[in-house]
């Protein structure tokens, strides 16, 4: 089935396919141009017959190569996935490869092209170090066909050079050697250009076969014999010249002038309608016996079997272009190593050349993988199948097996020598290649049509063509669409040498930093564990439960120890050792994290459970079981996942490419980095990461709920802070791990940072405040012991006499039954070991709304208290003034019980101070009282 389309309107296709990437699509769409339409349809029909379960091949065609080039460029610039494959000439590969950094073309596996002849395998199928196209339908090697009987009658050899070709054509031209003595033509080459063919097809109303232009091939076969002498990696169309703005030098002077001169003479000794007919003229006149020689890529087996028909490789040239000097010099064995020696011509440079309109199959990488594989399978069938009538399509072999089936004498050895020649011309495949070749083709054709043949005209034409190419290449590079043209030129001929790259490792410096931080974290965990054991009977440790603190130390120690296996690579250990380290690192990190985080979760869960108990309970007992039950949940999930992973599909160490984006265009050699992985890595990591994230989210929610709960030593605050820090480390660290995925040093240091910050922050937030509280408590204890010692020493030395009443009062005050003194005795006596538990400050029983109401009540009571205090002080002052006014000096001299105003020494002191203040302000009262006292005496 075919559908006509144009570049402007695009194809009208049914692109419906199964959404599943593994299912078989119903159809595949292949884009080509009119010249290859019929043969592609024939292969599609035969493929459907042999493989009825395979997708149906829909052939979409455009009228000309110009239209095909426009449609292909638009599709690769704006991928739509409409086309699964393309059947195009090799000259379009440069544009297709340049789009999207080389990722638009699917790469074929090597087994697809194992059967190809060397030229098609290495110079056509391979582009920039990878197999990106599949030669289809037929080979494309040009052969020179000649009439043996005609040349034998004139005793002429086959032409060895293009100059010799013209000489022999001149001898044979107009000789009456045809049927019935009809004059023949010395040479037959239909020279209609590609652009002229397109116009001809556009004007055609008969529905005849599409116009077939080979003018680009004629130009290339002669130019390559003059420019390519050092093998196919030297190129035949462009030379490297760093002095030019583009870095390239079109090899047009003086070669193009020589080619134009040869073409002028060929036309003189050719058919009169050469300039108005396409390449179909060649075989038509040759088969009619009206042509002595012709050049063609259509190898008609029946024609080649005829005894009066011969075939030889293309002629060469005895001179070659000395690049940089722009002059033609004679070939020698040193300068033309692939040349042949002839007695008359000397050393002749020979370059096998393939037709520029040969066909290759290209698979789009913008469609799903299953469609790519089905398209590759179809192209492989079209390449290797020999069931089609080769005569109908004048097919020449592409594979070794096809070549062996040839029944034409000498044909197999000829094709084999051409396709194995190291000097065979590689197709011109830089970006913008079609426009460049079309520009040159049009200029040459216009020159030949005009008929103004002269040395000056040839020189002007060569100069204008070279200038036009330089301008086109410079403008194309200025767009900044991709790499410069000279880079693609080197890639297309296989001479580009990518930058060297080596295997990437963590390095001793980064490894030393990581292991140092890991060791520091492990030592901190051990030291703090020993500190807990040493001070396990201290109140701050008992209030936090020693088992809880020891498990935190254990978890951080195990988690920090994972840094060491994370830093092991194949520069330190074998691949087996690295594989063991891969799983060991996961075990250490996951188990350590599970222990640490589950303990924090258990503690915060127990704190939040206080909100759910009645207000009457002032003490809640927490046992080891309360700690271990929530702890075992997360621990069990991690252990179960790791154990299953280790037993069924453990991680193994391998090296993977890390510069794939740069290596897509082969800019640098493929570097590798070490990687731990297995086929089920993502599944097990998802289980472990999912369980840990869920537990983390729940912990954060609970930490938020108990934000106003006050525990002894503010323990809930520090636990919540630890959980929050770990969550922040994960939020920041996981995206960074993804960003530095291709940098082993960055990955390792990021892992070290995540682990070190998690462990060190947990230890700091959990143990830092406790060590501060412990230090303060020890200082207070030491001070109280000093005070108690001083009091005991003073009592034993002075031994004051105390009356019975005072002794009894003092005994009551110092009695342990006195609540006021119970706390004093507890500080000076050995502390009693309390049962395992957590002390909650009563305020923690109040919910947030109740707490707000209570706070308002407290504020109101404080304001009322301040008001009453002020009133009390005012009344006391008035009372004192009243007492002093009645007896100003009575309180100064009466130290007994009867003179006591408020009944206590403290109140007497306050009264004395106030009396002194009042008397100082009223001296007349003091004087009057003194006189009155003297009178009484």
Query: Which residue, 779, 806, 831, sits at the end of a domain?
Result: 779
Same domain, 772 and 863: no
Confidence of residue 836 (pLDDT cuts 50, 70, 90): very low
Cβ 174 vs Cβ 184: under 8 Å: yes
The string of pLDDT tens digits covering residues 290-337 is 999 999 998 888 899 999 999 999 999 999 999 888 899 999 999 999
Domain contains 836:
no
Strands (E), 215-353: 238-240, 248-250, 293-296, 309-312, 319-322, 327-330, 340-342, 346-348
Domain contains 812:
no
Domain contains 834:
no
The string of pLDDT tens digits covering residues 797-829 is 544 444 444 444 444 444 444 444 434 444 444
Same domain, 517 and 444: no
The string of pLDDT tens digits covering residues 381-413 is 988 876 555 444 467 899 999 899 888 999 999
The string of pLDDT tens digits covering residues 23-64 is 788 999 999 998 899 899 999 999 999 999 999 999 999 988
- Closest by Cα among 496, 477, 481, 160 to 346: 160
pLDDT at 921: 47
Same domain, 12 and 112: yes
Cβ 55 vs Cβ 26: under 8 Å: yes
Same domain, 287 and 373: no
Q: What is the mean pLDDT of residues 743-756?
A: 90
- Closest by Cα among 214, 190, 238, 162 to 426: 238
**Quick one: which H or E segment has residue 884?**
helix 848-886
User: In this structure, what are the phi and psi dihedrals at residue 412, rounded to the nearest 5 degrees?
Assistant: -60, -45
Q: Per DSSP, what are the bridge partners of residue 897?
A: none
Same domain, 50 and 92: yes
Query: Which residue, 779, 814, 840, sits at the end of a domain?
Result: 779
Q: Is 190 helix (H, G, I), strand (E, B) or coil?
A: coil
Kindly report the CATH number assigned to the domain that includes residue 181.
Answer: 3.40.190.10
Same domain, 394 and 277: no
Q: What is the mean pLDDT of the chain?
A: 80
Same domain, 225 and 369: no
Confidence of residue 792 (pLDDT cuts 50, 70, 90): low
Same domain, 133 and 164: no
Same domain, 450 and 589: no
Range 571-578, long-range pairs (CB < 8 A, 24+ positions)? 571/505, 575/652, 575/653, 575/654, 578/653, 578/674, 578/676
Kindly report the CATH number assigned to the domain that includes residue 647.
Answer: 1.20.1070.10
The alpha carbons of the chain give a radius of gyration, in whole angstroms, of 50
Residue 285 belongs to domain spanning = 143-353+432-479
Same domain, 31 and 16: yes
Domain contains 503:
no
Domain contains 498:
no
- Closest by Cα among 360, 374, 312 to 116: 360
Query: Which residue, 440, 458, 479, sits at the end of a domain?
Result: 479
Would you say the pTM of this structure is higher than 0.85? no
Confidence of residue 500 (pLDDT cuts 50, 70, 90): low
Domain contains 929:
yes
Confidence of residue 866 (pLDDT cuts 50, 70, 90): confident
Domain contains 802:
no
Domain contains 665:
yes
Number of independent structural domains in the chain: 4
Same domain, 311 and 178: yes
Same domain, 220 and 309: yes
């Amino acid at each position: 089935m075919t559908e006509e389309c144009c570049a402007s309107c695009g194809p009208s296709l049914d692109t419906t396919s199964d959404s599943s990437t593994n299912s078989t699509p119903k159809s595949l769409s292949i884009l080509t141009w009119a010249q290859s339409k019929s043969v592609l349809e024939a292969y599609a029909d035969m493929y459907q017959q042999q493989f009825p379960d395979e997708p149906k091949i829909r052939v979409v065609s455009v009228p000309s190569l110009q239209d095909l080039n426009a449609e292909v460029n638009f599709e690769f610039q704006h991928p739509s996935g409409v086309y699964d494959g393309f059947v195009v000439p090799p000259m379009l590969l440069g544009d297709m490869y340049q789009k999207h950094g080389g990722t638009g073309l699917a790469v074929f596996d090597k087994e697809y092209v194992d059967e190809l002849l060397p030229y098609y395998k290495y110079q056509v199928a391979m582009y920039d170090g990878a197999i990106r196209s599949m030669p289809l339908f037929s080979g494309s090697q040009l052969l020179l066909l000649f009439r043996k009987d005609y040349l034998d009658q004139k005793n002429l050899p086959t032409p060895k050079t293009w100059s010799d070709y013209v000489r022999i054509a001149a001898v044979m031209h107009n000789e009456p050697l045809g049927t019935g003595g009809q004059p023949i033509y010395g040479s037959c080459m239909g020279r209609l250009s590609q652009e002229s063919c397109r116009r001809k097809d556009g004007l055609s109303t008969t529905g005849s076969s599409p116009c077939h232009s080979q003018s680009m091939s004629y130009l290339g076969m002669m130019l390559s014999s003059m420019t390519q002498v050092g093998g196919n990696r030297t190129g035949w169309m462009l030379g490297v010249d760093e002095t030019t703005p583009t870095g390239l030098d079109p090899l047009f002077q003086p070669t193009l002038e020589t080619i134009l001169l040869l073409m002028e003479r060929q036309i003189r000794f050719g058919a009169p309608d050469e300039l108005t007919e396409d390449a179909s003229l060649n075989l038509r006149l040759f088969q009619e016996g009206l042509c002595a020689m012709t050049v063609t890529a259509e190898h008609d087996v029946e024609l080649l079997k005829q005894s009066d028909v011969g075939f030889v490789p293309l002629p060469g040239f005895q001179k070659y272009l000395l690049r940089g000097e722009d002059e033609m010099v004679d070939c020698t064995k040193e300068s033309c190593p692939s040349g042949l020696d002839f007695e008359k011509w000397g050393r002749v440079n020979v370059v096998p050349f393939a037709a520029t309109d040969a066909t290759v199959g290209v698979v789009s990488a913008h469609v799903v993988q299953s469609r790519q594989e089905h398209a590759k399978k179809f192209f492989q069938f079209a390449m290797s199948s020999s069931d089609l009538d080769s005569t109908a399509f004048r097919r020449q072999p592409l594979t070794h097996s096809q070549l062996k089936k040839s029944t034409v004498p000498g044909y197999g050895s000829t094709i084999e020598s051409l396709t194995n020649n190291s000097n065979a011309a590689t197709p011109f495949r830089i970006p913008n290649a079609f426009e460049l070749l079309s520009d040159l083709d049009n200029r040459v054709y216009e020159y030949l049509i005009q008929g103004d043949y002269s040395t000056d005209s040839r020189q002007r034409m060569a100069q204008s063509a070279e200038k036009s190419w330089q301008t086109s290449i410079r403008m194309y590079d200025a767009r900044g669409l991709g790499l410069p043209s000279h880079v693609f030129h080197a890639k297309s001929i296989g001479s580009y040498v990518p930058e060297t790259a080596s295997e990437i490792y963590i390095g001793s410096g980064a490894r030393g930093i990581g292991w140092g931080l890991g060791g520091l974290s492990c030592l901190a965990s051990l030291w703090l564990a020993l500190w807990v054991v040493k001070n396990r009977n201290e109140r701050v440790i008992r209030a936090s439960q020693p088992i809880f603190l020891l498990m935190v130390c254990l978890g951080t120690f195990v988690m920090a120890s994972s840094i060491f296996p994370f830093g092991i690579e194949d520069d330190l250990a074998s691949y087996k050792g690295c594989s063991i380290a891969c799983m060991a690192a996961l075990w250490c990190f996951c188990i350590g994290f599970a222990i640490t985080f589950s303990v924090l979760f258990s503690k915060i869960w127990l704190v939040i459970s206080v909100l759910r108990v009645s207000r009457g309970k002032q003490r809640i007992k927490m046992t080891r079981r309360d700690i271990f039950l929530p702890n075992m949940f997360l621990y069990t999930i991690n252990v179960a996942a790791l154990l299953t992973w280790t037993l069924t599909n453990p991680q193994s160490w391998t090296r993977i490419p890390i510069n794939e984006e740069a290596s897509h265009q082969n800019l640098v050699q493929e570097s590798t980095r070490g990687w731990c992985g297995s086929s089920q890595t993502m599944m097990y990591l998802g289980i472990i990461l999912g369980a840990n994230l869920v537990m983390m989210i729940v912990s954060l929610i609970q930490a938020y709920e108990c934000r106003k709960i006050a525990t002894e030593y503010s323990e809930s605050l520090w636990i919540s802070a630890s959980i929050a820090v770990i969550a922040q480390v994960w939020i920041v660290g996981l995206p960074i791990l993804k960003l530095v995925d291709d940098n082993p040093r960055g990955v390792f240091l990021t892992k070290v940072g995540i682990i070190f910050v998690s462990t060190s922050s947990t230890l700091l937030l959990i143990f830092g405040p406790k060590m501060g509280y412990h230090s303060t408590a020890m200082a207070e204890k030491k001070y109280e012991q000093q005070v108690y010692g001083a009091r005991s020493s003073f009592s034993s030395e002075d031994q004051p006499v105390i009356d019975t009443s005072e002794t009894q009062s003092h005994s009551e005050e110092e009695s342990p039954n006195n609540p006021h003194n119970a706390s004093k005795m507890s500080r000076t006596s050995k502390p009693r070991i309390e049962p395992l538990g957590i002390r909650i400050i009563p305020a923690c029983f109040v919910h947030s709304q109740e707490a707000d109401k209570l706070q308002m009540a407290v504020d109101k009571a404080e304001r009322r208290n301040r008001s009453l205090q002020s009133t009390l002080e005012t009344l006391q002052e008035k009372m004192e003034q009243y007492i002093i006014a009645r007896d100003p000096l009575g309180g100064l001299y009466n130290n007994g019980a009867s003179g006591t105003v408020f009944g206590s020494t403290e109140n007497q002191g306050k009264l004395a101070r106030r009396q002194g203040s009042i008397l100082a302000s009223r001296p007349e009262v003091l004087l009057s009282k003194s006189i009155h006292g003297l009178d009484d005496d």
